[in-house]
């Protein structure tokens, strides 16, 4: 059965799903999107994803021509239409059909697209053995240029960073901000695990880069923070340097596509004992249990 894609009120077979070459999403990357997962037929944290999509749209002065409730219903409908129990959903809202100029007022109506398909971001065996990563020379966008909190269709900086990783023979890269601090990966958020300090009262410390550090505030990231707190870990949002990554006991990534995956080597430095650590495994197990309920 061919995957069916919903575009502006109608389902089309995947092979026939099209947008105009005059759509400003294609011409200028003028639009926003969300990547969402469904587990056992239940969409994971749909409300949070829809809220983030509308926040991104508002930030770029784009009015989505549906209510949040209508869009959420359409996501569910697209999953059911394609008879998928485990799926990856992509919601795209572009500025729509316009002319060849930049003026967004020339686009009378946004284009709304919902895709439900499958995805495998990393090979399955890497969830058992862990990833190797390198630091990319390409930084994330400056927050006053294109704020990384906006999940826009313009992902070129992250693609250029990804290309650096491909050339280095690794699956993912560390991206820094304009000051040289750790921000995020090309498609994932970053966490470290370290031994307790005096303030941690015997609890393992789980650190992640703060939401105002020029990162996309991930839905999976937020879920993992909640799970880690519930599990009794000392969770902190702190500015991180590459030194903090190299010397951590554990280093893992989170994202809608990635879920939770361990990093065992960064810029040639072995992390911890070179294997996925116990805290990472614990949180992955807790996340999978959460996912069964739709989050």
| Sign of the Cα pseudo-torsion (222, 154, 121, 70, in order) | positive
Residue with tokens 């105009």: 20
Q: Which residue has the tokens 């491909």?
A: 166
What are 225's two structure tokens?
Answer: 């923070």
Residues 131 and 125 sit within 8 Å (Cβ to Cβ): no
Alpha-carbon distance 164 to 1, whole Å?
37
Strand, helix or coil for residue 236? strand
- The Cα–Cα gap between 72 and 156 comes to 28
CA distance 216 to 177: 12
- The active-site residue, picked from 4, 151, 162, 204, is 151
Question: Does 151 participate in catalysis according to the annotation?
Answer: yes
Secondary structure letter of residue 111 according to DSSP: E
How many other β-carbons are positioned within 10 Å of the β-carbon of residue 13? 11
Between the alpha carbon of residue 267 and those of residues 135, 171, 193, 209, the distances in Å are: 7, 13, 18, 19
Structure tokens at 74: 């359409």
Residue 212, Cβ neighbours under 10 Å: how many?
11
Consecutive H or E run containing 114? strand 111-117
In order of 38, 40, 289, the CA distances from 293 in angstroms are 10, 9, 7
If you ran DSSP here, which 8-state letter would residue 59 be given? H
Catalytic residue annotation: 151
């Amino acid at each position: 059965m061919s995957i069916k894609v919903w575009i502006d009120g109608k389902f089309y077979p995947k092979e026939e799903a099209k947008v105009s070459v005059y759509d400003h999403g294609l011409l200028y990357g003028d639009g926003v999107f969300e990547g969402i997962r469904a587990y056992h037929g239940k969409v994971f944290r749909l409300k949070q994803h829809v809220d983030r999509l509308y926040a991104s749209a508002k930030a770029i002065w784009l009015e989505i021509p549906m209510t949040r409730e209508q869009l959420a219903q359409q996501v569910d409908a697209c999953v059911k239409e394609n008879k998928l129990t485990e799926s990856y959903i992509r919601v795209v809202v572009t500025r729509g059909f316009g002319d060849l100029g930049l003026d967004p007022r020339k686009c009378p109506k946004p284009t709304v697209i919902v895709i439900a398909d499958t995805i495998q971001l990393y090979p399955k065996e890497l969830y058992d053995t862990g990833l190797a990563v390198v630091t990319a020379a390409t930084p994330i966008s400056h927050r006053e240029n294109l704020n990384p909190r906006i999940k826009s269709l313009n992902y070129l900086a992250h693609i250029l960073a990804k290309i650096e990783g491909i050339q280095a023979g690794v699956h993912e890269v560390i991206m820094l901000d304009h000051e040289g601090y750790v921000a995020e990966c090309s498609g994932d958020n970053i966490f470290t695990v370290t031994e307790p300090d005096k303030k941690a009262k015997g609890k393992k410390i789980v650190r992640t880069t703060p939401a105002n550090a020029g990162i996309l505030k991930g839905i999976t990231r937020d879920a993992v923070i909640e799970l880690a707190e519930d599990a009794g870990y000392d969770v902190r949002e702190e500015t991180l340097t590459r030194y903090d990554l190299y010397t951590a006991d554990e280093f893992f990534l989170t994202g809608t596509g990635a879920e939770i995956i361990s990093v065992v080597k960064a810029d040639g430095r072995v992390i911890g004992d070179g294997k996925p650590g116990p805290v990472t495994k614990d949180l992955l197990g807790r996340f999978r249990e959460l996912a069964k309920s739709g989050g």
